[in-house]
Structure 1
Amino acid sequence: MSDAIKAHWSLVMDAKILHRDISVNNILLTGNKKTDKLGGVLIDLDLATLMSDGNFQEKAQVMTGTMQFIALDILENSFETTGTFVTDSYRYDLELFLYVLVWMCISRGWKKGTNPHETFVSKWYTGTAQEIHSHKQLSIKFVSFVKILFKFSSMFKDVKGLVKKFRDLLFFSKIKTQTGNLDDPNKLYEPIIAAFDSAIHSLKESQAMQPENSRSIEPIS
C-alpha cells in the first residue's frame, strides 16, 4: 500500500496524472522469492486523466471507479442536484486508498464462511448511490471509525493504529468529518507516507524479536 501511494504521489506531482480508479485489483504485490521481500505496484491507468488536459475539469466530474471505494463527495455529487459539481482530485484518490485498506483488513484473514462482517462491507457496494454514501459517511465518522477497527481480522491487528492515523490525516478532524484539498498536495502525502514508514519500521522491529522459526515474510509496504 505504501509503495502504491508513493507511486500515486509521483504520478500527481511529476507526471500530472490523476489515477481515478484506486481499488483492490489495481494494487499488486511483487516479490523476490529468494529474499522474501515484497513491494507494491499501482497499475491500470485506463481511467486516468492528465491534469494539464484542457478537458480535465469535464472529465473529472464523471463518477468513475469501483463502487465500494468511491470517495464520499464523488458519491454525493452523483445523486445531488444542487447545480454544483465535484471534481476528482488527488485528495479523493487518497481517500480511495483508505477504503481499500479498510476493506482488506475487514474482508481478508478469515476462514471461508466465518467472516462475521460480510454484511457490513457489502453495504459499501449494494443499494443506491445515496444509500452507499450514507453508510460510508457514517462509517468514517471518528467514533464509528474507532468501532470499525474492531472488525479487522486478527491478521491485521497490528495495523489498526496506522489505519486510524490515515483516516485522521485525510479527514482533518476528530470532531467533524471534513473533506477537501490542501493547497499543497505534499502537505497530505508526506505525513501519510511518514505514518506508513513508521508502522512498517515498527512491524519489522517486532518481527525481528520473534523466534527465527516463527518469522514470516517482510511486512507489506
Structure 2
Amino acid sequence: MAGKNKSISKGSGPRKPTLQPFKRDRHLIRVVVTPRGRPLHCSRTILEFLIVIRDSIVAHRRLYFEKDILHCDISEGNIVLVRPDGDNSIQGMLIDLDHAVSLNDDRKKDDNSLLTGTMKFMALERLSYAATYGSTIQCTYRHDLESFFYVFLVGCIEYERKNSSKEVIKLQMWCSNNIINNYNGKVTCITLFRKEILDIFSKRFSDLKDLAIKLRNILFGEAIPELGTPDDPNPMYDGMIMAFSNTIEQIRGKINLPQFELAAQFVYPC
C-alpha cells in the first residue's frame, strides 16, 4: 500500500501497556475478600457510625503516606463495617479502589478531563472547576477528606428518615445532572452551615452538631469556605481524626445515658 504509514497507537515502552492518547488501559478485576462487611447505613449505634468513619480516615491516611495511593472516590457506599478480629480493633474499611491513583504514576494527569467519583460526596473545588471549565482538577487528599465530611453529614441527616422526607430531598440538590446546580447547592449549605445543615440533623444525631462544626472549620476555615489543598496534609488529617476520636470518647463516657441507637427503619434497609 502506497503512502506513509500512520501510527494507530502509542506505546509507553516494550513492557508497558499500549495507551491511546489521554486514555489509560482499564482492566475489570473481581476481588473476593473476607471478612464480609456491612454498609455504613447499617450502623447499630451512633458510636459505631463514628468509629467506622474515623477508622476509614485512618486507613485513607495509611494508603496515602505508606503506599502512595489516593482513593479518589470516597462515598458512603465505599465504607463498610467489619467485625474486629483478635488484636485488630479496626471497624471501618475502605473498598472500591476503581478510581484510585498511584501518586508515583506520571500518567495520572491524563485523567484530569474526567470527573470521576460519586457526585453527592464530591469536593467543592472539583465541582467548581468542572462547572467553570468543563473538566476537572486532579484529585487531592483534601478532596477525599472533604468527601468523608459529606458522608458524615448525610448520615446525620438521612439515616433516620425515609426517602420522601423533605430533609432527604434537600440533599438531592447535591447530586443532580447539572454540575453548576450541584456546586451552588453544596456551597450554600457549607456557607450557611447552621441553617442549611445543622438545623436538619436527625433527632438522634443532634449531639453530633459540635463535631460537625469542628470538621467544617478544619476543612473550610471559619468564614467563607476555603477550597484549596494545603501542602502539608498532616494538620488536616490530624484535626479530623482527633475530632472524631474525642467525640467517640465522650460518648463512651456517657455510661449513665441511654444507648445511642439508630432508628429501625433506614433510608436503605439492611
Same fold by TM-score greater than 0.5: yes
Q: State the secondary structure of the residue aligned to 1:64.
A: coil
Q: Residues 114 and 41 (structure 1 numbering): CA distance in 2 closer, same or farther, change over 3 Å?
A: same
Alignment gaps of 5+ in structure 1: none
Structure 2 segments unaligned to the other structure (5+ residues): 1-52, 262-270
- Superposed displacement of residue 31, structure 1: 2.6
The answer to whether the aligner puts 1:180 opposite 2:228 as a matched pair is yes
Which of the numbers 44, 69, 89 marks the counterpart of 2:121? 69
Tell me the secondary structure at the aligned position of residue 109 of structure 2: helix
The question of whether the paired residues in 1 share the 8 Å contact of 2:123 and 2:146 is answered with yes
Is the 8 Å Cα contact of residues 204 and 260 (structure 2) preserved in structure 1?
no
TM-superposed CA distance for 1:62, in Å, is 2.6
Determine which structure has the larger helix proportion and give its number: 1
Q: Please provide the CA RMSD for this pair.
A: 2.2
Aligned-residue offset at 1:216: 5.7
Per the alignment, residue 133 of structure 1 pairs with 183
Paired with 2:113 and 2:63, the residues of 1 have a C-alpha distance of: 19
Aligned-partner Cα distance in 2 for 1:92–1:113: 27
- 2-structure distance, mates of 1:61, 1:187: 29
CA distance in 2, matches of 1:38, 1:153: 27
Displacement after TM superposition at 1:42 (Å):
1.0
2:13 alignment partner in structure 1: none
* Counterpart mapping for 1:24-39 below 5 A: 24-31=76-83, 39=91
Q: 1:79 to 1:113 in 2, by over 3 A?
A: closer
Distance verdict in 2 for CA 1:70–1:50, change over 3 Å:
same
Counterpart in 1 of 2:244?
196
Residue matched to 1:209 = 256
How many aligned positions are there? Answer: 205
| Structure 1 pair 114–126 and aligned structure 2 pair: CA distance change class (3 A) | closer
Provide, for residues 39-59 of structure 1, a one-character-per-residue CA deviation record: whole Å limited to 9, x for no partner. Answer: 111111111010110112233
Amino acid in the other structure paired with 2:168: E
2 CA distance for matches of 1:132 and 1:46? 23
Partner residue of 1:3?
55
- For 2:173 and 2:117, the matched residues in 1 are separated by 17
Structure 2 distance, partners of 1:132, 1:31, is 36
Specify the SS of the correspondent of 1:194: helix
- Answer whether contact 2:69 2:103 (CA < 8 A) is retained: yes
Question: What's the TM-score once normalised by structure 2's chain length?
Answer: 0.70
Q: CA 1:169/1:113 → structure 2, altered by over 3 Å: closer, same or farther? A: closer
The superposition leaves residues 166-214 of structure 1 with CA deviations (integer Å, 9 ceiling, x where unpaired) of 1110012x221111112111111011111111000001111x123xxx5
Taking only the aligned residue pairs, the percentage that are identical comes to 33
What is the identity, as a one-letter code, of the residue corresponding to 2:209? K
- Which residue in the other structure is 1:150 paired with? 199
The answer on 1:55 being equivalent to 2:104 is no
Q: Which amino acid aligns with 1:133?
A: Y
Structure 1 runs (4+) greater than 4 angstroms displaced = none
- The 8 Å contact of residues 28 and 41 in structure 1, kept in 2 or not, is answered as yes
Measured in 1, the distance between the counterparts of 2:173 and 2:244 equals 28
1:38: Cα distance to partner? 7.8
Q: Secondary structure at the match of 2:110?
A: helix
What TM-score do you get using the length of structure 1 for normalisation?
0.85
